[in-house]
Amino acid sequence: MKLHTLSPAKGGKVRQNKRVGRGQGSGRGGTSTRGHKGAKSRSGYSQKFGFEGGQMPLQRRVPKFGFKSPFRVEYTPINLENIQKIADEKGITTFALETFVELGVISKNGKVKVLGNGELTATVEISANAFSASAKEAIEKAGGKAITL
């Protein structure tokens, strides 16, 4: 094995960087690959975020409307049919926020609203942040308790 017989591993040779600003002999002299004139050829040039070459940028062309309240409270809905299913499968009769977190329904700081979709036959005690009127009625009709936190 001699030095002139060595070659890099297949797929291992990384392309060399473009050496710019090293004179005419480099093949990249004169404008140093920046083209002629214009802002992009100058030193210290930095483009504004979203700049589209003077065309009206997308974020200014798209119409804006509506309002998003910063005080909106997002609830995770859970239906009575799901509570019935959990009560049947796991034998749970008391549903608190911690129970919903353990079941993976909500995150630790999430809020739950119980909705009245489906039938409830199990007698359960549910503590949640909100209840729909039909859900509260169905829970109490089945002999359970609906506790609003």
Q: With left for phi above 0 and alpha for psi between -120 and 50, is residue 109 left, alpha or beta?
A: alpha
In a domain, 120, yes or no: yes
Q: What is the pLDDT of residues 5-39, one digit of tens each?
A: 998 888 888 888 889 989 999 999 889 999 999 88
CATH number of the domain residue 106 falls in: 3.100.10.10
In a domain, 111, yes or no: yes
pTM greater than the 0.85 cutoff: no
The whole domain housing 132 covers 76-148
In a domain, 87, yes or no: yes
In a domain, 93, yes or no: yes
In a domain, 106, yes or no: yes
In a domain, 4, yes or no: no
In a domain, 113, yes or no: yes
Residue 70 pLDDT grade (very low, low, confident, very high; cuts 50, 70, 90): very high
Q: How many domains does the chain have?
A: 1
| pLDDT of 93 higher than 90 | no
